[in-house]
Amino acid sequence: MSGNMTTIKTVGVIGAGQMGNGIAHVCALAGYDVLLGDADAARIDAALETIKKNMTRQVHREVITQADMDAGVKRIKGAPKVGDFAPCDLVIESIVEQDDAKKKVFADLRSTLKPTAILASNTSSISITRLAATTDRPDKFIGIHFMNPAPVMKLVELIRGLATSQETYDTSVAFVESLSKTIANAEDFPAFIVNRVLVPMINEAIYTLYEGVGSVDAIDKAMKLGANHPMGPLELADFIGLDTCLSIMQVLYEGLADSKYRPCPLLVKYVEAGWLGRKTQRGFYDYRTDPPTPTR
């Protein structure tokens, strides 16, 4: 533990969706007091229930003890109002992958956060430098990108913006290590490391389907058994959310201006239909059946 580490005791998480509740879960188990916020207060309550359910599962699997869970659950509190984040030493934004929405969160926090607080984004693809420039503390701004689902996945990408100070970086390293996660340092270029490699692969799998090279079933089976992937790329796209996959491809396409990042028209079509994967019950698979059936 570095001397800087003592500065982080209370962590704010803004966005109570799948990623936000996973980050809150991990921070609480690591001993931090957590404030979990969302523009929709009902989502906070739902997230607290999800966290309890996921921790209970970890107890059953003997990953954590019942005492760990009880202490962890006690450390998380809902924070429906922006003012609730005043005690935070670190705030992690984990809302939708949209520039404007994220910038609004940072603008709202301006009057609340103490001067020493670090501001982080869990963005999977948006420029940290650009987001930092809209805040009142670009030197205290950093990308801390957790993988989904955060309680299970070992990796965290740390992304420094142009203005991120060494102290902010060092404190963030100590914080991530205290969560028992492994760090990969990524430069601040569109989609960083994991998604720059992963999402174009998913997009290519969708092109393979679009061009009729293989069916949903054949493509997923081929990558699971032929490349030893734990999940096929189309099944993975449904898990991530097709809207998220599309927005990452758009960030790559616009940010790097290379035609190899063109989103597949079929991906666009599915998103337009509102078939976003598991969260809407339909994507490349229909989850209203058991087992899920391919939709093409």
- As annotated, the active-site residues are 124, 145, 157, 195
Determine the Cα–Cα distance for residues 138 and 18; give it in Å rounded to an integer.
27
Residues in the chain: 296
Determine the Cα–Cα distance for residues 243 and 18; give it in Å rounded to an integer.
14
Closest CA to 293 of 227, 223, 215, 237: 215
Q: Which residues pair with 35 in a beta bridge?
A: 12, 77
Q: Please name the residues in contact with 221: beta carbons below 8 A apart, sequence gap of 6 or more.
A: 232
**Burial grade of 61 (CB within 10 A; 0-12, 13-18, 19 or more):** exposed
| Greatest Cα-to-Cα distance within the chain, rounded to the nearest angstrom | 58
**Burial grade of 166 (CB within 10 A; 0-12, 13-18, 19 or more):** exposed
